[in-house]
Amino acid sequence: MPLIANDILMARTSIIILGTIFVTVFMAVMIILVSFVTAGGDTAHKLGRIWAKCLLALGNIRVTVKGLSNLKPGRSYIYMANHMSNADIPVLQAYLPVQFRWLAKAELYKIPIFGYAMKRTGYISIDRSNRKSAIESLDKATKIIRNGVSVVIFPEGTRSHTHDVQPFKKGGFFLAVDSGVPIIPIIIHGTGRIMPKKQMLIKPGNVTLEILKPIESSDYTRKTKDDLIKKVRHVILESFEKGKKNGSLC
């Protein structure tokens, strides 16, 4: 019976992957076309939200959002989320109900059509292997935030190999203290078991997107950014561990 169940899951995953490729190519082309006739990237970002909801529907992934009252309309933030799975990206894209821009690794922009759509939407590429390029990307993100646009970052830098939160990279915190806008910690519960790293299986399931209270960054400087890192990490870990105890393994 377990072998039969695994075969069914593999077949289901194959169908989802094919559907994902089709939806991604179609929506990426639409986003590129729209970006040439609209300014600012807001409309393209909304189309990206439709893309993400389609992917979650294909995978039968249901999302519950908590903590929306912690967001102040019209305020720009730096959103920092834990990162357990590729499913984290469509979850945030679909259910974080604000305009934002991704600060994403440069490798994603090399994907044909998809990468160009990200660029046309105004998302920001960061190449961690090139220090000069990374600094330029952070400077660009700082200017965007000061113009009133929010940014989403995975402070761990990449997906976790385990069900634990990895150490945080410092780049996002340089961005926070330079821009002076609050950080909103976000915990994504459940994606780790739906789409584990290094596994070609996509399982249906429930995900909770938990939006926590903002943490002010204006009281910190580049010299004291490590204190800000510790504070944000403590808040994320505390909520993450509560989720584990409640059975919503991240």
Q: Is 231 among the domain residues?
A: yes
Residue 179 maps to a domain:
yes
Work out the average pLDDT over 61-67: 96
Q: DSSP state, 186?
A: E
- Amino acid at position 153, single letter: I
What is the rounded CA–CA span in Å between residue 156 and residue 148? 25
Identify the pLDDT of residue 249. Answer: 53
Residue 73 lies in a domain: yes
What is the domain extent for residue 142? 2-245
Model confidence over 228-240: pLDDT tens digits?
999 999 999 998 8
Residue 247 has a pLDDT of 62
Single-letter amino acid, residue 164? D
**How far is C-alpha 136 from the geometric centre of its chain's CA atoms?**
21
Question: Where is pLDDT greater, at 116 or 40?
Answer: 116
Residues in the chain: 250
User: Has residue 250 been placed in a domain?
Assistant: no
Confidence of residue 154 (pLDDT cuts 50, 70, 90): very high
Count of domains observed in the chain: 1
pLDDT, residue 58, reads 95
pTM reported for the whole predicted model = 0.90
Strands 100-105 vs 150-153: parallel, antiparallel or unpaired: parallel
Closest CA to 181 of 211, 152, 210, 223: 152
Name every residue whose Cβ is closer than 8 Å to that of residue 30 and which is 6 or more positions away in sequence: 47
Q: What is the CATH number of the domain that holds 229?
A: 3.40.1130.10
Token couple for 43: 């409309």
